[in-house]
Structure formats: structure tokens, C-alpha cells
Amino acid sequence: MSRIDLHLHTTYSDGSLPPAEVMALAQKANVGTLAITDHDTVDGIPDSLEAAARLGIEVIPGIEISSRYGEGELHILGYFLDWKDEALLVELARLKETRHDRNPRIIQKLNELGLEISYEEVRALAGDVSVGRPHIARVLMNKGYVTSAKEAFDRYLADGAAAHVPRELPAPADAIAMIRAAKGIAVLAHPVWVDRSGDRIHRLCEELKEAGLQGIEVHYSTHKPEQTREYLNTARRLDLLVTGGSDFHGVTKPDIEVGRGRGSLVVSPKLLEPLRKAAAAGLGVLVAILLVAGAVRAQGNSNAATSGGTSERPGRVQEVNGNFQPLNLHAPQGQSPSAPAPGSPALSGSAASPPTPPLAPLPPLMPLGSHTVVTPRPVSPPSFGTFGHR
């Protein structure tokens, strides 16, 4: 039976190999189905689909979105998403800009520490893809300042290290909302890097599920057997989907192989069917939501015409107390990205513009089980350390 690997990176984010070479390694490892989950970008999916088609490999369009969680980061994987979704591409472009703004400042800090490295060198190494910290680490390795990517991050690039520069990231609820609005399945990545306590992971996943999380990456290259059991138990108790993957990057994680992790990783192909069913169910609900979105847009345009105002960007809605309302992913800090501001007409019925009559909720077109569309809300973060190299 062929293997599956649902967590792989290419040169389109912080991997060291282009999609065609990743596919070749997948074929060698007997991987029949995989997901390309580059950080904060879907740019590598077209090349991945083309290369995989030549080798008879199935590619699930995916992504790994970074979010701000306390003083560290939380990564959310997305599967089966519409990688051409216009609203998703707009949000990803904003994330790319935050990285572009940060990189020159990291170089400046390294220069102040006496390391002779230029941003032009980093860009040349990265080529046409988005520059990230792993590219800076590789230049540091090439120049002999460090002997490994791990040393580069530990000494200079990780949170709290000498040349670290933080960047603006969405809240976890926003990252989940981005994936689900693009018809994707939202999954918590590598829980081992969030916390070592199974109990705390369980409470975190409860909060994230209320924000729309649908799964957890139970099988992962660095999970110990007891951790895998803990996360599997959490998934069962909370009725979350189970996924797994190697988190292959290439030279920046040289001990991780495609499909095998550190050699003992096994991700069962049986995990694919529940994912496919959840993706199909979510697509059915999205059709219903988009029908309602048309009505919301028409009413909003009517209100704008009579009041002289402008309407929200169409097509981004979610259920709020039985009704569908526009989704705002750029709510002020501390405010739910989906909830109207206190005292607004949407909550109080007061106001500046004529209230929109409530729309009767439409039934789902396909059965969802427990994986229903839910209203995102902020997740309260503990003080965890950072992880991830993007």
C-alpha cells in the first residue's frame, strides 16, 4: 500500500527543493497522495500539480498559515482549499508584505552584530520565491557563520534570538476563517511545538474548535509514541479529524524525509476518506452560504445607495445567531473577527442605516456530522514559546 504525506514544503516558501524534486522524492518513497503546504502561499501548487501528474501522484492543494499566539506562533494547515479564491489571495498578499518588511531589518541586525551579509545575497539564493528566514540561515551557513540551520535560528533568527524581528500575523481565528472561507479544512499543525502537556493541548483544541478548527496533526515526524496517543485521544474526544505529515523542508531539516519523517513516520491512507467527506460537506455549505451572500450583497448595495455609504466586500459571510453576516478579518485587536462591534446596529438594532431584515437560515445541502460552520472567535493564548522557521 502506498504512503501519504500531508505536510510538505517547497522552494515557494522555506523548502530547499522545487516541486518537481519533491515529487521525485515522493515517488521514491512510495507516496501516492501528498499535500503541498507551503507557508502563507499557494504559489507552488500549479507546479506541484504538473509535476505530480507526470508521476501519477495525487496532490491535495494545501497551505500552512502562521498566526500570532501570545508571544509565539500557532500554525494552521489547510487542505482541499480553493487555491484560486480571490479573497484568500488578497489575505496571503498581505502576509507576504509583512515578511518583506521584516527581512531587511533582520539583515541590518546581523550587520550590527558583525556578520557581513546583504539582502541581495539572500534574494539571489531565494530566486523567484518569497524570501524567508530559512534563506537567511542558508546564507549564514554558506558564509561559515553557522554550521546548520538550527544553529542559525538558535543564535540569530528565532524568537528572542539576537537578530530576531517580529512580524504582524493574524489571530488563530482569522487564519482558520481564511482557510474555511476558501472551502478548506482547517487543522492544527504539529501540536508538539505548541505545548508538551496533553491536557493543555486538549483545552487549546476546544477553543480552536469553537473558532472553526476541524482537525489536528496527530502523526508528525518528531512526535513520540506517547504524544501521538495523547493527540489521537484529543481528536477522538473532540471529534476532530486526524491528519499527519513529515513537515519536509530539505536542507533546513535534513533529518526529515518525504513520507517517512525520521524513518518511523507512518500516516495511514485511511485518514484521507474522512478528510474528503468533510471537504465535500464544507463545499455544500459554502454553496448555501454564497446564495445568502448574494442576498446580503443586494441588501447592502441598496442600503449604500440610500445612505450614501459603501457596502462590505461581497461573498465573505458567516452565521451569527442564526443569520449570515459579512466576515471582517481585520477586526481590532481583542474583538472577534466575526462579531459586530458592541452597540452596532447588527447587535442593537439601532441606527445609522436602516436595519437589514434577518434572513432565514438555509439547511445544509449535505450532512455535516459535527463538522459544522461555526462563528470564529478569538483564542486566549497562554505563554508558549515560538516554533516554525518562516
- Chain segment 24-57, per-residue pLDDT in tens: 999 999 999 999 999 999 999 999 999 999 999 9
* Domain assignments of the chain as residue spans, ordered by start: 1-270+379-390
Which residue reads 443586494 in cell numbers? 298
Yes or no: say if 98 and 112 are a contact pair by the CB < 8 Å rule.
no
What span, in angstroms and rounded, lies between the C-alpha atoms of 141 and 138?
Answer: 5
- Determine if the pTM surpasses 0.75: no
* pLDDT over 80 at 313, yes or no: no
| C-beta neighbour count of 234 within 10 angstroms | 23
Please tell me which residue, 8 or 326, carries the higher pLDDT value: 8
* pLDDT over 80 at 285, yes or no: no
Check residue 311 and report its DSSP letter: P
What span, in angstroms and rounded, lies between the C-alpha atoms of 279 and 286?
Answer: 10
For the stretch 213-234, pLDDT in tens is 999 999 999 999 999 999 999 9
* pLDDT over 70 at 121, yes or no: yes
What span, in angstroms and rounded, lies between the C-alpha atoms of 35 and 371?
Answer: 21
The β-bridge partners of 77 are 64, 187
Task: Report the SS3 class of residue 385.
Answer: coil
Q: What is the pLDDT of residue 206?
A: 95
Average pLDDT (159-175) is 92
* pLDDT over 60 at 357, yes or no: no
Q: What is the pLDDT of residue 187?
A: 98
For the stretch 233-283, pLDDT in tens is 999 999 999 999 999 999 888 999 999 999 999 999 999 999 999 999 976
| C-beta neighbour count of 82 within 10 angstroms | 16
For the stretch 339-353, pLDDT in tens is 444 443 332 333 343
Whole-number average pLDDT of the chain: 80
Q: What would the CATH number be for the domain defined by 1-270+379-390?
A: 3.20.20.140
Closest CA to 78 of 95, 94, 66, 96: 66
In order, the DSSP letters of 200-240 are HHHHHHHHHHHTT--EEEEEETT--HHHHHHHHHHHHHHT-
What span, in angstroms and rounded, lies between the C-alpha atoms of 283 and 293?
Answer: 15
Yes or no: say if 75 and 81 are a contact pair by the CB < 8 Å rule.
no
For the stretch 242-252, pLDDT in tens is 999 999 999 88
How far CA 354 is from CA of 312, 317, 340, in Å, comes to 15, 19, 16
How far CA 189 is from CA of 79, 163, 238, 387, in Å, comes to 12, 26, 16, 11
Q: How deeply is 190 buried, as exposed, middle or buried, from its count of CB atoms within 10 A (0-12, 13-18, 19+)?
A: buried
Cell of 68: 500570532
Cell of 13: 516558501
Q: What is the pLDDT of residue 167?
A: 86
Cell of 205: 483544541
pLDDT band at 335 (very low <50, low <70, confident <90, very high): very low
Yes or no: say if 259 and 1 are a contact pair by the CB < 8 Å rule.
no
Yes or no: say if 105 and 86 are a contact pair by the CB < 8 Å rule.
no
pLDDT band at 302 (very low <50, low <70, confident <90, very high): low
User: Inter-axis angle of helices 198-210 and 225-238, to 10 degrees?
Assistant: 30
Lowest mean pLDDT among 59-68, 148-157, 209-218, 329-338: 329-338
Task: Report the SS3 class of residue 288.
Answer: helix
Please tell me which residue, 200 or 232, carries the higher pLDDT value: 232
Above pLDDT 90, what percent of the chain?
59
Please tell me which residue, 46 or 292, carries the higher pLDDT value: 46
pLDDT band at 98 (very low <50, low <70, confident <90, very high): confident
For the stretch 61-74, pLDDT in tens is 999 999 998 888 89
